[in-house]
Structures are given as structure tokens and as C-alpha cells.
Structure 1
Amino acid sequence: MRRILTLLAALLGLAAAPALAQDGPLRIVIDEGVIEPLPFAVPDFVAENAAAAQYAKDIGRVVAADLAGTGLFREIPKEAFIANVTSFDSPVQYADWKAINAQALITGAVSVDAGGRLTVKFRLLDVFAEAPLGNGLQFAGTTAGWRRVAHKVADQVYARITGEGGYFDSRVVYVAETGPKNDRRKRLGIMDYDGANVQYLTDSTSLVLAPRFSPDGARVLYTSYETGFPRIFLLDVASVGRRALDDQPGTMTFSPRFGPDGNTVLFSLSSGGNTDLYSLNLASGQRTRLTSAPSIETAPSFSPDGRSIVFESDRSGTQQLYIMPVGGGEPRRISFGSGRYSTPVWSPRGDLIAFTKQNAGRFHIGVMRVDGSEERLLTASFLDEGPTWSPNGRVIMFSRETAGASGTSALYSVDISGRNLRKVPVAGAASDPAWSPLLP
């Protein structure tokens, strides 16, 4: 275990954190992108009965895709294998895996009972140490949920090697788009983090924007124009039931986001030509005004501890980012680079804020420390916007739109190092993603 973690740290150009004791667990902190990903092997999982044959192959493939997709790992192709795993309980022939330079080996077995219950067990092995990395684990679920089981396996592997939580067993809610650019139809879609299992939560009769998950992933806030004006709705993901929030005559509400307690909602309210930030207690219906200025305040986001809010405002003459206490008070500006800043989102770790930046005719996704220092731009294009964080704070997903009359929107992800820019495989045009927490 010590060897494989130290090797990964070396590949990252980092020092491994010292162990708490001579034989204690060794953890690493990944602060930069990899130069050479760690090679791993995933033989087909063993099917322990005939009903499990296809699931065994498919689960192994999803586990491998999850890990390789991070940019931290490189899968060794099956064509290079000298040996295969035909029994989960057979001794591992480590020499065969060393010969192809596999640093990590993932083996597993799958069974399906008569009631359609699927069981997956797996082991993660340090090839050069010839020892397991942690104990073997077993997950169970329905055959319909086999992809979730695969993501759970991959999360465990990722966590054991990197020392940080995974993000594969999660979902993304987004705006699915159809039609030409000048007459785009939009509806809410929800999918696995990797673009699989797409379902639609609304129809396309009304414009919808800015979906945002609750902390438990069971509800979604979004803005709808079905009345002709922006209005916030709260939707239950399981039942698809919904209701309007803070429906006050003569006002427009938009840009909502949940607080960490799941009972508080931040949003912008426009009335009489003025736009300020408000909070709403979902249980009591009590609304509290947080800002009072002639400027436009919008896109609020809670800190993970619920004590502070970051938001965008044009009170200085251009769109900039500000932080203030959750109960209101004098905001503190944190963005001072050239250009305009918008759509700030606090990292789940609490250490960074992601944002959209427009400067010199280009759009960027960037991150900065909560005091505004160490600004880094991760992307650049005709139009990149709307960042959202993975549950572990390692990856940012965002929308990218191409130029021209035939331009379209797609979802992309990038590591916080700025490496591993990838297009998310979603059928059709898509925008405005919001990442869920890890699923229960």
C-alpha cells in the first residue's frame, strides 16, 4: 500500500503526507494535475452464475471508465494481459501483472439471484507490494441499478488510492436544449454524472433555467418563465411534483440555491426595478432581505459551513464577486482582475470559489481562494459559463457554447488543476449543469 500511494504522489509531483505511525495509513493530498497517470488493470469481473454474465462485463467496463476519466489513472488494455482472472478466490499471479507494469489491479465477481438481486464483490490490489489495498467489499442492488453499483466500486478504488472521496455515484441536473439557436426549447434533464440514464423532469413548453440540487439530492430548485416572468419552483425529483416559491405579485424571482441545511433558499428578487438578495425559510415561509442597494445582486452561493455567502454584483460598475455574512451586512469584494466575474460557486471543501469570467472577448471558468487570491483560469472559449462542483471538490462541470448561428451548447468537465478537459457525453444540446452530492 505504501509503495503504490508513494508512487502516485511521485507521479503527481507531490510529497506524500507522513504516516501517523510506522505502520499507519499513508495519505496523499492531490494539489496539481498528473504528468503520467497511474497504470491499472481491470480484468472482466467473474460471473458466478449465467444470469450475471453480461453484468460482470459491463460493471468492469464502467469501473474502468470512471477511473480513466479522472486523468489520474491509465487503464492497461486487455490485449496486453498475460493472465486473466477466472475465479475470484484464486491466488493472484502478481508476476504476470508486474510484467505489464500494472500498479493497481481490480478484481471482482458478480452474481444475480432468482429475484433479480445483483451482488458485486471486489478487491483492490497493490501489484508490486503483492498485497490488498484495504479489505474486499461487497455491494448489492437491483439489476436495473447495476451502473450505480459499478460507480460505488469505482468510488472505493479512487478513495483508497488518492485519499480523497470519490464522485462517481452522483447525478447531474441540467437544461436539455432542442431547436435552432434563435428558437431554443429547454427542459430539465437529470442523468448520471457520466451522461447515462437520462430522464426529463419538465416539458419544453416554458423556458427553464438554473436548476440546483438540495443537499440530499432529493429536490431541485429552478427558474421558470411559464408565467411570462421568471419565477422560482421547487421540484421533487422522485415524484416530479412541484410548487412555486415566494410567489409575490409584481415581483420576479430567480437564481435560487439551497443552503447547507436544506431548509434555507437564497435567491434574487426584482421589484420596482431593483434586484436584491433574499433568503427564504422553506418550513415557515419567512422571507428575509439580505441586501439593499441600487445595484443588481444575484447568483448567491453558501459556504459549506453556512456562515457566508458569495454572490455577484455590479455595485462597483461592473460584475464582480463579493462575500458577506449569511445574515447580511457589508459585503467584501474578492475579485480584482481585469474583466467581469459572475456565477460564483463555493467548493464543497470550502477552500475555493469557482466562477465565470469574461475578458477581452473570451469566457473562462476559473477558481480563486475565498479571499480572492491565487486566481487561476481553467478554460477559455467563445462562451464558457455556469460552473458546478463535483461532490469531492476535485472536478468542475460547466456549459460551453459554440459561436455562430448554428452554435450549440454542451457540457464539459475539467480538473481544478486545469487539466483533463473532457466533453460530457450527453445526447443533444445541454447547458447549466448542477452536480448532486453523492447518492445515499
Structure 2
Amino acid sequence: MFFATTVSIPAELARRSPLSERVAAGLVVLRRRALGVATAVAAGLALAGVAVTPAAALIEIDINQGVVEPMPIALPDFGGDPAMGRQIVEVIANDLRSSGLFSPLDQAAFIDRAVDASSTPNFANWRAINAQALVTGTITPEGGNLRADFRLWDVFAGEQMIGQSLTTSAENWRRLAHKIADVVYERLTGEKGYFDTRIVFVSESGTKDKRIKRLAIMDQDGANMRALTNGDSLVLTPRFSPSSQRITYMSYGGGTPQVYLLDIGTGQRVKLGDFPNMSFSPRFSPDGSKVVMSLQEDGNANIFAMDIATKQMSRLTNSASIDTGPSYSPDGSQIVFESDRGGTQQLYVMSAGGGGATRISFGPGRYSTPVWSPRGDLIAFTRQSQGKFSIGVMKPDGTGERILTEGFHNEGPTWAPNGRVLMFFRESGGGGGPSLFTVDLTGRNERRIETSGFASDPAWSPPLP
């Protein structure tokens, strides 16, 4: 839990972020843009006695020739508690680097080694090593808590962009680092950060013919992993609630696959309905009040929505086919799903209340696992064609399809909360198992997420409170 946050930048300046929604449509270039800003910050920084002037330069993200130029950013170790300050800076640097938008500079190149976070930096020394942004900070132990006072500087303009103070319990130090990275990311790009989030996934162990699958949860960077189930039954397709710390997933615990709800905090598990046949592919509505899923009957599968509070069911499709993999649009008005009603596995969009559906996928091969972006502008999917599995995106009307990555077996995309990065799982063939990867919307920044064993079926959490 975070006890205090002090923000030292006015709302009118924060609204001047130049990031455009065009980032979702193509490749990204970072460039700097000067904005004349004369307003001094009225609110004081948590660092006593420091006068704050808002920064005059921001990053603009634009689509341009397919060249990605990460921004050089300097992250000297935070002062105060040197060991903890070093650990926190390492996490911040890894977060920013993983986005593909920032290039943390090697500390060996720093001219200034001992950086006083309460003073204005010598900007000439940071310009000399090509740093465009600089983060300074101090970590102060306070009983069982940690306080981080940090400042983001625009090196080119020689001005502070933002300063904050965050306080939390000492064991929460990694979250503290993720939150600082989120602040830096948002101030420089205008997008919400996604580093203080978690991933629920299926942790796999054992041989391929005797695989044990448990639900597990970890930080988005792979740290702090812990099991949520004991592996006594097969589990698949976990999904986070957007409004609470609950997960819905499919389990074979009772013999017939059924959909369950799990409270992460209490560990309480309940079966969502008692259906005679298989229920699968659950996903929450945007407000967390419903779960949409597929129910099998007479050899077919149709899509239903259940009100969690009342357990009332609403049938959304009624076809002699397999309709599954439903995902709501972020405004809750539509659902995308996969169906073989046209003879092959394709993607369709319908009203959230059911009724007629419109096919949106027309590329080569079969389409599955659709999931709507939190921004509402794109739908991610898995496409199988010519012996390869690809992760791609398209607009909700089916136009603008782009493949981001492909391989022997890629599947199961899930969106970061800001709609800029996807996580998925990949099997490379041979005798191994699946691993988790991220790829951004450029398709050029692909990274493996290290886990202690095999991992599949990831689902990204909303930002943590």
C-alpha cells in the first residue's frame, strides 16, 4: 500500500502531452518538441526548499519510416540508502528499457557520480553524454517504510518536468520502483504507464505427457511469482477482473471443465454455475459485473453472459457451430468472438446483447483468441496459416490487419492496460514447453519474460491500486 503521493506539476501542463493515438497504427519514432512554458509550479516538491519549474520539452511519438529511436535517459543510483537506491534504479531502468521507447545510459559513462537529488543538476555534464532526460532521487527509510523523493529533468531545456514523493512499506520496494517508472513513462510519453501491474498465467511443469498446470501470478517483469492453485487439476485461460482482484478461469477439477472465480487476496474459489456440460473461455465485462463464456450443448458451443451477483444467464449466440473466445469492447457495447459458422475458424463482432454478427477476419488461415484493446481501437488475435502461428492486430471493422510476430506456435495475446504492448506465449517445438513474451505495436520490440518454469495463457492485470 502507498501512503502518500505528492505531485508537483500543474494539471494544465500535464494535459499538453503530445502523444497521439496514431501510435497504434504503425511504427514509432521519438522526437523532442520544445513548448514555451512560463508557468512556475505553485505546489512545492516534497524535497524541502526546492523551487520547481515545469519542463519545456516533451517526447512526441509519431509514425515515421519504421525507424525506432529510443530516448537516451540517465538513471544514477538514488541516494539516501545506497543499496536500496541501486536496486530501485535497476528496476526502473529495466522497466523503461522493456518498453522499447527508452535507452538507459550506462552508468560507466556518467561524468557526475554522486548526484544530489535535492539540487539542480549540472546539465552540461549530462548533455555531454547525450542524455535527454535525467531521473534523480533519494530513498529514506522511515521505520518499516521507505520514502522515495524523485525528480525527472529535461536535460536539453535544463528544467524539471515533474517531482514526486512516494511512501510505502519496505517489502513493497519493487512496486515503488514500478510506480516511479510509470510516472516517468507517462510524463515523457503522455500515455499511462503499465509497469505496476501483474500477470496471471498457467505455470507448467513435468514432462509433456504428464504436464502439471497451476495458476500462478507475478509482477509484469517476472518477479515475485507465486502459485494460486496446487496443480491437482488442469487449469486454463485465466482472466483478470477489471474492477477487483478476482480471476476467472477454466478448471477440470470436477471432471467436466467448468468456469470458476478466484479471489486473489483471500484464496476463495467458487464455481460459476453448475452446468451439465463443459463451460470454457470466460472473460469479464468491462465493469466486472458479468462473465461471458461458452457453454457446450449437443456438440455445439454458444456464448452466454452471466450476471455474477444474480447468476442470471443471457444467451448471446444460437448457432449450429462452435462460438467461443468472447471479449468485450472496453465500452461494453460489443463482443468479438471466434466461430466456425462460415466453415473455418474466423472472427466476428456482435452487439453485447447478442444478435447478428459481422465477420471481420479475411486473411489467409484461421483466426482465434481475439481480445479487444483497452483503447478500443484494435483487436489482437492469433492467426494460423501455412504451418505458423502469428500474433497480430486489426481494427474492429477488420481493416488494417498487421502481423506483429510469428513462429512455430504463438498464441493467447493479452493487452497491457495502456493498449501499447501485448504479452503472449510461444512454443518453439522440440521437447520443450511454452514461454511468455511481450511485443509492442511496432512488432520490433519483442522480449522474453523469464519464469522459473514453462508458462502459458497469460492475462495482464489492470493497474494496481
Tell me the residue number matched to 2:48. Answer: none
- Gaps in structure 1 of 5+ consecutive residues: none
Distance 2:393 2:38 in 1: 37
Q: TM-score, normalised by structure 2?
A: 0.88
Q: Which residue of 2 aligns with 1:90?
A: 119
Instruction: State which of 340, 346, 349 in structure 1 corresponds to 2:372.
Output: 346
Contact map agreement 2:335 2:351 (CA 8 A) in 1: yes
Q: Whole-Å Cα distance in 2 between the matches of residues 435 and 251 of structure 1?
A: 29
Out of 45, 54, 73, which is 1:40 matched to?
73
Match of 1:203 among 230, 253, 257: 230
Match of 1:225 in 2: 252
Q: 2:174 aligns with which of 122, 147, 150?
A: 147
Deviations 1:366-414 (A, max 9, x none): 000010001000111110000000010010000101212x121000000
Alpha carbons of structure 1 residues 376 and 20: separation in structure 2 relative to 1, 3 Å: farther
- 1:143-182 correspondence runs (5 A): 143-182=170-209
Contact 1:19–1:27, Cα closer than 8 Å, also in 2: no
Matched, 1:253 2:279: yes
**Structure 1 pair 183/20, CA: closer, same or farther in 2 (3 Å)?**
farther
Shift of 1:216: 2.6
Q: CA deviation at 1:29?
A: 4.5
Does the CA-based 8 Å contact 1:217-1:436 persist in structure 2? no
* Structure 2, unpaired ranges of 5+: 1-12, 40-55
Same amino acid, percent of matched pairs: 51
State the partner residue of 1:67.
Answer: 96
Aligned position for 2:433? 408
Contact persistence 1:253–1:267 (CA under 8 A) = yes
Amino acid paired to 2:132: Q
Q: Does structure 1 conserve the Cα–Cα contact (< 8 Å) formed by 2:19 and 2:61?
A: no
Note the alpha carbon deviations across 1:252-303, whole angstroms, 9 max, x for none.
Answer: 1010000011111100000222210000001111001110000000000000
Q: Give me the whole-angstrom Cα distance separating, in 2, the residues matched to 1:258 and 1:388.
A: 13
Distance 1:30 1:230 in 2: 46
Contact 1:217 1:439 in 2 (8 A): no
Match of 1:127?
155
Rate the CA distance shift 1:355–1:239 in 2: closer, same or farther, 3 A: same
- CA–CA distance in 2 between the matches of 1:25 and 1:331? 47
The answer to whether the 8 Å contact 2:434/2:455 transfers is yes
How many angstroms apart in 1 are the aligned matches of 2:231 and 2:368? 27
| Alpha carbons 1:34, 1:71 under 8 Å: kept | no
Work out whether residues 293 and 324 of structure 2, in 8 Å CA contact, stay in contact via their aligned partners in 1.
yes
By how many angstroms is 1:7 displaced? 13
Give the secondary-structure state (helix, strand or coil) at the position aligned to 2:293: strand
Q: How many residues align?
A: 429
Aligned-partner residue type, residue 41 of structure 1: A
Partner in structure 1 of residue 42 of structure 2: none
Give the aligned CA root-mean-square deviation in angstroms: 2.4
User: Is the Cα contact below 8 Å between 1:301 and 1:344 reproduced in 2?
Assistant: yes
2:462 aligned residue = 437
Give the partner amino acid of 1:232. Answer: V
Q: CA deviation at 1:53?
A: 3.3
Structure 1 residue 31 displacement after superposition: 5.0
User: How much has 1:86 moved relative to structure 2?
Assistant: 3.9
The aligned amino acid for 2:400 is: E
- Distance of 2:449 and 2:208 partners within structure 1: 20
1:23-38 to structure 2, matched below 5 A, reads 28-30=60-62, 35-38=68-71
Report how far residue 35 of structure 1 moved.
2.1
Deviation at 1:246, TM superposition (A): 1.4
Q: Residue 368 in 1 paired to residue 397 in 2?
A: no
Q: Are residues 1:301 and 2:321 paired? A: no
SS at match of 1:84: coil
Q: Secondary structure at the match of 1:133?
A: strand
For residue 20 of structure 1, report the CA deviation from its aligned partner.
11
* More moved, 346-355 vs 175-184: 175-184
